[in-house]
Chain A
Amino acid sequence: MDNYKHIDLSYLELMSDGDADMKGILLDMLLTEPSGEFEKMQKLAAEQNWDELKQVSHKMKSTLPYIGFEELTETNKKIDKMLWERQNSGISEDAIAATVPTLVSTVSELYTKALPELQDARNNLMNLA
């Protein structure tokens, strides 16, 4: 696959084990599934629904390695970690409210940067077929 400014599809390559059909399905999933999840995260952050936000952020932890955009992966990990600390080590609600919504906006923005590259990778795969 091509080299991109933001994304790195090495993990996706590894998981698809050279199977072009599987690569295509995974890329299609990356082009569609995360947008809904990130929208949900924005809504939950606005509502300060931290418990549900943690579940969505945690779920995204195993999707983001497929995109291979380190800043995106790490920002989401920060959200998951802060919300874990809220549940387990008493980090204050004020600290969460002051930090997490900004991090949630950042993951959405970073995903927006990844999208054209993901689309390009998908188009290239289709052209090879």
Chain B
Amino acid sequence: MNNNIEKTKQRRILLVEDNKMNQFVTKRYIESTGNVEVTIADNGKIAIDKLMERDFDLILMDIEMPVMNGFDATKYIRTEMNYSPEDLPILAMTTLRIDGKYPDYGMQDYIAKPVSDWPTAIAKIDACLQKK
């Protein structure tokens, strides 16, 4: 597995995803790459609740989810919780083709699902973490 995420500092990633298989595979891949802890939220509402309890370094956000979708959750995090992209980068992780449109939704990058190229996905995550 790829080993790109810098190890000097513990990083906390919030994975917002309703699909159990994606939760399992994504958490396992990312945690295998470095000093990273992945917390899972099943939808945008749960993500916001978790964000109220503790800080995270980055969010991986699915878009189509029950209860609260990824666009609405991101909007809430940016406008109601006042997290800037510098404080808390959000990467869309979706089967929707939103290439080029993610900045319109307050997101910093985009990972297409199903993920077939984990090294590239990990590099995107690491690039966002390095900017913090």
The finding on whether chains A and B are genuine partners in a shared complex, rather than unrelated, reads yes
* Total residues of chain B contacting the partner, CB 8 A: 16
A91 close to chain B: CB less than 8 A = no
**Shortest distance between the CB of B51 and any CB in chain A (Å):** 22
B52 close to chain A: CB less than 8 A = no
Q: Please state if B21 and A22 are interface contacts (CB–CB under 8 Å).
A: no
List, sorted by A's number, 29 A–B pairs whose CB atoms are closer than 8 Å.
Answer: A11-B114, A11-B116, A14-B116, A15-B25, A22-B28, A25-B24, A26-B24, A26-B25, A29-B24, A30-B21, A52-B66, A54-B64, A55-B64, A55-B65, A58-B64, A58-B95, A59-B18, A59-B19, A59-B64, A61-B113, A62-B19, A62-B21, A62-B22, A62-B95, A62-B113, A62-B114, A63-B21, A63-B22, A65-B114
Q: Please measure, in the bound complex, the distance between the C-alpha atom of A25 and the C-alpha atom of B28, giving whole angstroms.
A: 12
Number of CB contacts from chain A to chain B under 8 A = 39
A residues within 8 Å of B by Cβ?
11, 14-15, 17, 22, 25-26, 29-30, 33, 52, 54-55, 58-59, 61-63, 65-66
Identify which of B21, B22, B24 gathers the most chain A CB atoms within 10 Å of its CB: B21
For the A-B complex with A55-B65, A66-B21 known, give 11 more contacts whose Cβ atoms are closer than 8 Å: A17-B1, A26-B21, A26-B25, A29-B24, A33-B20, A55-B66, A58-B95, A62-B113, A63-B19, A63-B21, A65-B114
